[in-house]
Amino acid sequence: MALPQAIRRQKLLLAEGKDELHFLDELLKTINISDVQIIDIGGKDKFRPSFPTITALSGFRSVVRLGIIRDAETEAEATLASVRQSLTENGLTAPQQAGVVLTSGVPQIGIWIMPDNRRAGCIEDLCWDGISEADPRRGCAEMFMGCLGESLEKKAAPPGCSASAYYFPKQAAKAKLQAYLAGLHEPQRELGRAAEAGVWDLKHSAYADLRNFLAELFR
């Protein structure tokens, strides 16, 4: 029987879900950092309610570096404010800005709001940015999205509407990346597993700021 997950390392990175966990694990490898424990918080809506429990887990008192990675969704500033509030509500000092490591106090804390601490969006946008312009599947995925845009209603589906109803994808960035993944010679269904399979060029300049942030936080 597997033991429950405990905080066993002094460097902790909180990710929104399993995709982010696998992606970040691979990204850390590219900068030769292997002593960070990544915990999947279980979804974007789970961060606020789960964070007090994370701080109560065995081992949290030993954490000296804490990273928090969230998707901006509709507004990066609002997501940052929400994370900062969670930190202060639990007795931790919150960095004023995303992408900046707070070096005073213990633990040292850094917040990254996907894709780049400024834009609305999510990790899929960052991965999209990292796809080479020369990759023909990129254009195919864009054409597919264009086709969907012409064929489907571009408004929010009414409540209770069937999942198969003819409405444009709620999360266009995710849909576009899924279309790209579907076009791989060996298709991948998940962004995180795709990272493990080497689909994303994690040394691409699109990831440079995030790599630098993680290196500053965890080195």
Partner 1 sequence: MIDALTLKNYKTFKFLALGQFSPFTLLGGMNDVGKTSILTAIYIYTARLQPAMANLAAMRSQNSPNWAETYFHGFSPSAEKQIEIGVVWSGMRGRVEIQYDPTVQVGALLDSGLQNRLPDPHPSSVLDPGRLAAEFGLMSGDQNLQALRMRWFEGDEQKSDIYWMLPPAKPGMYVKYSLPGLPSPSALLFPFMRELPDAAARSLSELVKVGAAAEITSHIKMLFPHIRDLTPVLTEPGKGTVLADVGLPKPVPISELGEGAKEALNLMLTIPRIRGGVLLCDELGAGIHASILPRFVQSIAATARKYDCQIIATTHSYELLSAAYDAFAQDGMNHEDLTYVRLDRTSPETVLPTVFNYEKLGIALSNDWEVR
Does 5 bind partner 1 (CB under 8 A)? Our answer is yes
Selected binder of partner 1 within 35, 49, 88, 208 (CB under 8 A): 49
Determine if 120 is a binding residue for partner 1 (CB under 8 A): no
Query: Which of the ranges 56-64, 119-127, 149-157, 181-189 carries the binding residues for partner 1, by CB under 8 A?
Result: 56-64
Pick the closer one to partner 1 by CB: 86 or 117.
86
- Residues from 60 through 99 that contact partner 1 (CB under 8 A): 61
- Beta carbons of 142 and 177 less than 8 angstroms apart: no
- The answer to whether 137 and 184 are in contact (CB under 8 A) is yes
Q: Which of 10, 30, 37, 50 binds partner 1 (CB under 8 A)?
A: 50
Q: Is 43 in the site for partner 1 (CB under 8 A)?
A: no
Residues 6+ positions from 196 with CB-CB distance below 8 Å? 22, 25, 26
3 binds partner 1 (CB under 8 A): yes
What is the C-alpha R_g of the chain?
A: 18
SS3 of 46, please? helix
Instruction: Specify the residue for token string 């213990």.
Output: 106
Kindly write down the DSSP assignment for every residue of 151-219, as one continuous string.
HSB-SPPPTT--TTSSB--S-HHHHHHHHHHHTSSS--S-HHHHHHTT-S-TTSGGGHHHHHHHHHHH-
User: To the nearest whole angstrom, how small is the minimum distance from the Cβ of residue 185 to partner 1?
Assistant: 36
42 in contact with partner 1 (CB under 8 A): yes
4 binds partner 1 (CB under 8 A): yes
Residues forming the site for partner 1 (CB under 8 A)? 2-7, 42, 49-50, 52-54, 56-59, 61
